[in-house]
Amino acid sequence: MSDKGLFCGMNKPADASNMTETEKKHMPVIDCPDTVKAGEPFKVSINVGEIPHVMDEGHHIQWIDVYFKNNFFARVDLTPKFTRPEVTLTLARHSKHASSTLRVIERCNLHGQWEATKEITVTE
């Protein structure tokens, strides 16, 4: 992480192969196929994070957003105490582009926004 504040922009680990405990608790973990067929539904599971994040009233994940590149697909709003920051969505990619970047952004009320991405190949 850089020296900038956690609420300035998007947080990402400084070294993805050697994350700090804070980074491990906030980086979304994306589980989905590497290749999907255009128009066919597929499941995307998202966990925040590699070390489960707390969901206390004073410290919790507020929402999880899903984009393909800059196109918004879904938002899941979360409530402390009664939910866990783990979701599975069924998506379909209709684009004829050969590949697409799945972007998952979550927001922690104390540690700001964190983004993870995954390249997905879309076939006909």
Stretch of 2-10, 11-19, 98-106, 111-119 contacting Fe ion, by CB under 5 A: 111-119
Phi, psi values for residue 24, rounded to 5°: -65, -30
- Please state whether 40 falls in left (phi above 0), alpha (psi between -120 and 50) or beta: beta
| Dihedral over alpha carbons 71, 114, 12, 31 (to 10 degrees) | -70
- CA distance linking residue 30 with residue 19, whole number of Å: 16
Residues 25-44 that bind Fe ion (CB under 5 A): none
The answer to whether 60 contacts Fe ion (rule: CB under 5 A) is: no
CB of 95 to Fe ion, least distance (A): 33
Q: How far is the CB of 110 from Fe ion (least distance, A)?
A: 5
- State the CB neighbour count (10 A cutoff) for residue 49: 23
Using rule CB under 5 A, residue 103 touches Fe ion:
no
The answer to the question of residue 111 lying near Fe ion (CB under 5 A) is: yes
Contact between 64 and Fe ion (CB under 5 A)?
no
| Interface with Fe ion, residue 108, by CB under 5 A | yes
CB of 7 to Fe ion, least distance (A): 12
d(CA 30, CA 33): 10
Paired strand residues for 67: 72, 103
* Amino acid at the residue 56: D
Shortest separation between residue 123's beta carbon and Fe ion, angstroms? 37
35/109 with CB nearer Fe ion: 109
Residues forming the site for Fe ion (CB under 5 A): 108, 110-111
